[in-house]
Amino acid sequence: MDLNNKKRSVWTGVAAFFGLLVLCFVLLMLVGVWMGKRDYVGPDKIALVRVEGVIADSRDVLKQLDEYHKNDTVKAILLRIDSPGGGVAASQEIYQAVKKITEEGKQKVVVSMGSVAASGGYYIACAADSIIANPGTITGSIGVIMEFANIEELIKKVGVKTTVVKTGPHKDLGSPTREMTPEDLAVMQEMIDDVYDQFLQAVSEGRDMEIEQIKPLADGRIYSGRKAKELGLIDDLGNINEALEVTAQMAGITARPLVILEEKERNPVAQFLEGIFNGGIGSLLPSSIQKPGLSLQYRWQ
C-alpha cells in the first residue's frame, strides 16, 4: 500500500507540475493579449497611428484618432505617414480629424514621414503641430489629378456600339467610350481648380504661409525631405525615433513614454494576392485602370 501511495503521490505531483505549467502559459497568453490592447492603465502614453499606402478609405484611421483623442491617458499622437496620397475626400476627412485634435489643444500631434508622404499624405500632415521627415523622404506633390481612360477606338475595332440616354450634355462626362469635348474639359478643370484651392488653403493654414508663397511650390512637383525643410514645408529632419522624442517633449513627457498602437489584422490570402497584383500584374497596367472607379485624387503618380 505504501508503494502504491508513493506512486499516486508521484503522479499527483507530476500532474500538479504540468497543471501549473499550463496555468502559467495561459496567464502569459492573457498578459500578451492585454499588452496588445490600447487601453493601458497609467500615465505618459503616446499613440502611434499609421497612414500607409494609397489613401482610399479613412474609416480605420478616423476610428483610431477618435478613440485616442477620447483617452485621457494618451498625451500625444505620433502620426506615421508613408503614403503617396489618394482620394481627396478620404484625405480631407483625416486632415479634419487631425485638425480638430490640434485646435482643441489637449493633445499634440506630430507627423513622422516615412519613404513617401506626398500629395494627400502631405495634405494630412499640414494639420499637425509639427512635421518631421527623413532627408530622403519624398514629399510635396501639391496638386490634384483625375484620370480618364478612352477606349473609343478599341470599341470601334471590336465592332461594339454604345447608346447613351442622358438628361444633359455633361451627364456622361468622363465616359471611356467617347472623347471629352472642350466644354467637358472646362467643367472638369473648374472642379479640379476648386479642389486645388482647398489644398492650397490647408497648406497655408498649416504652414503659416501666404497662398502666393505656396503657389510656386505647388505645381505638382515632389521634394526631398531636406529640400522641403528649406522651403518651409516641414519643420525638421529626423527618423521615427527622433520624431517620438519630439512628440514626448511637446507633450511635456520627461520619462520614456509608453507607445501604444493598434495592430492591423490582415487576411494572409488577401495580402498575398494584393502583393501579386501591386508588385506584378497590377504594376504593368496603366495607372488609370489599376484602381477602378472615378474619383478626384490627391495622389503622386
User: In this structure, is residue 1 part of a structural domain?
Assistant: no
> Taking all residues of the chain, what is their mean pLDDT, rounded to a whole number?
82
Instruction: Tell me if 87 sits within 8 A of 295, measured CB to CB.
Output: yes
Q: In this predicted structure, what is the pLDDT of residue 291? A: 42
Question: Cβ-count burial of 274 within 10 angstroms (0-12 exposed, 13-18 middle, 19+ buried)?
Answer: middle
Q: In this predicted structure, what is the pLDDT of residue 175? A: 85
Q: Is 119 a catalytic residue?
A: yes
Cell 513617401 belongs to residue = 116
Structure-block grid coordinates of residue 1: 500500500
**Full domain range(s) for residue 51:** 43-263+294-299
pLDDT at 14 over 70: no
User: In this structure, is residue 14 part of a structural domain?
Assistant: no
pLDDT at 94 over 50: yes
Structure-block grid coordinates of residue 263: 495592430
Element (H, E) at 111: strand 108-118
Alpha carbon distances (Å) from 229 to 113, 141, 148, 245 = 12, 15, 35, 19
Tens of pLDDT, residue by residue over 241-268, are 999 999 999 999 887 778 888 765 555 5
Question: Cβ-count burial of 286 within 10 angstroms (0-12 exposed, 13-18 middle, 19+ buried)?
Answer: exposed
Average pLDDT over residues 123-142: 97
User: In this structure, is residue 74 part of a structural domain?
Assistant: yes
Q: In whole angstroms, give the CA distance from residue 58 to residue 67.
A: 14
Give the single-character DSSP code of 163: -
User: In this structure, is residue 200 part of a structural domain?
Assistant: yes
Closest of 121, 49, 38 to residue 83, by C-alpha: 121
Strands 108-118 and 130-133: parallel
pLDDT at 287 over 50: no
User: In this structure, is residue 72 part of a structural domain?
Assistant: yes
User: In this structure, is residue 117 part of a structural domain?
Assistant: yes
Average pLDDT over residues 170-185: 87
Dmax of the chain from CA atoms? 104
Q: Is 171 a catalytic residue?
A: yes
Q: In this predicted structure, what is the pLDDT of residue 120? A: 95
The catalytically annotated residue of 58, 83, 119, 130 is: 119
Lowest model confidence (mean pLDDT) among 50-59, 241-250, 281-290:
281-290
Q: In this predicted structure, what is the pLDDT of residue 12? A: 67
Average pLDDT over residues 260-284: 53
pLDDT at 285 over 50: no
Instruction: Tell me if 203 sits within 8 A of 214, measured CB to CB.
Output: yes
pLDDT at 92 over 80: yes
CATH number at residue 133: 3.90.226.10
pLDDT at 214 over 70: yes
Closest of 110, 101, 107 to residue 48, by C-alpha: 110
Average pLDDT over residues 20-31: 66
In the chain, the number of structural domains is 1
User: In this structure, is residue 231 part of a structural domain?
Assistant: yes
Q: In whole angstroms, give the CA distance from residue 51 to residue 44.
A: 23
pLDDT at 124 over 70: yes
User: In this structure, is residue 22 part of a structural domain?
Assistant: no
Question: Cβ-count burial of 226 within 10 angstroms (0-12 exposed, 13-18 middle, 19+ buried)?
Answer: middle
- Per-residue pLDDT band at 288 (split at 50, 70, 90): very low
Q: In whole angstroms, give the CA distance from residue 187 to residue 100.
A: 33
Name the 3-class secondary structure at 82: strand
Q: In this predicted structure, what is the pLDDT of residue 11? A: 62
